[in-house]
Structure 1
Amino acid sequence: MERPLLNAYVNVCFKLPNDEQAQLSDQSAVIITAWNPHSLRLPDAENAKRNQLLQKELETRFFCKLLVGNEKDNWFEESYWVFLSLKEGLLLAEKYQQNAIYWVKDQQVNLVYCADKQPIYIGELKDFWP
């Protein structure tokens, strides 16, 4: 993955309501979106449709909506914090043509590329909340 795209994946924050943050912090999960397949920017309306399809697939699971992005660049993507195994998360990411997902386990945030499926540690969960 090219350095600018890698930096975009690593230099993010996660935004969700404060009351939910405490509930989620101790549980393993994946953070996934259907926005901008293969990092190709789509119109917001198209991204919203894609995310609605993803949400339908998540309805049998506990999930929480959140924003993932960069405040400095004023860029965020609507995403989902969902209690799935890493394997299940990667299958959904491939289906929705995503380059990568975040995997949170034991308060550790990992970036996982769909191509090689290898987690890359990028930091402590507490550091990703604004």
Structure 2
Amino acid sequence: MTIDAKLWCSYSDPHFIFSTSDMVGDYAIITAWNPGSILLSKKDNHDKNQELELAFPPVNWAKVKVGDARFNWYEESYAVALSMKKSIELGRIFKQNAIYYVVNNQLFLISCHDNKQKKLGDIRERIQQINRR
């Protein structure tokens, strides 16, 4: 399965609001919202994210919102200190098209279905302040 070019393009301009500033090192940003890009209710998405949270091994994680620049649209997600391989596996299990992965503050968009990936630059340039939302 490949991701539609328009969808891939929209995934390529994310912005983030972290619940904490404790995430350092390499980590994934992953969600269980809207599997397969099928819009679900907020309750159903919340339930799916709860299942995802229970699938995390005992590692450092934080809640994060991933959205457009103004956060008119966003998905509740997690920043999780997992390997890239494990993160992609979880993305596949929870029927996600892609995940984000951070290595030394460099943000990557990574497909869960093929080897496609895209470097998006320094994540710190895409982080909004917590008190804004």
Identity of aligned residues (%): 33
1:6 corresponds to which residue? 8
Provide the alpha-carbon RMSD of the alignment: 1.5
Q: Within 5 Å, give how 1:1-130 maps onto structure 2.
A: 1-17=3-19, 20-21=20-21, 23-24=22-23, 26-58=24-56, 60-72=58-70, 74-130=72-128
Give CA deviations for 1:2-25 in whole Å, capped at 9, x if unaligned. Answer: 3321222111101014xx32x32x
The one-letter amino acid paired with 2:65 is L
Give CA deviations for 1:37-80 in whole Å, capped at 9, x if unaligned. Answer: 01111111110110000011125221100100114360111100
Task: Mark the CA change 1:119 to 1:4 in structure 2 (over 3 Å): closer, same or farther.
Answer: closer
Gaps of 5+ in 1: none
Task: Mark the CA change 1:119 to 1:6 in structure 2 (over 3 Å): closer, same or farther.
Answer: closer
Deviation above 2 Å: which 4+ runs of structure 1?
1-4
Whole-angstrom distance in 2 between the partners of 1:110 and 1:99: 14
Gaps of 5+ in 2: 129-133
Whole-angstrom distance in 2 between the partners of 1:83 and 1:117: 21
**TM-score, length basis structure 1:** 0.89
8 Å CA contact 1:90, 1:117 repeated in 2:
no
3-state SS in 2 of match to 1:81: strand
More helix by share: 1
3-state SS in 1 of match to 2:124: helix
3-state SS in 1 of match to 2:50: helix
8 Å CA contact 1:103, 1:112 repeated in 2:
yes
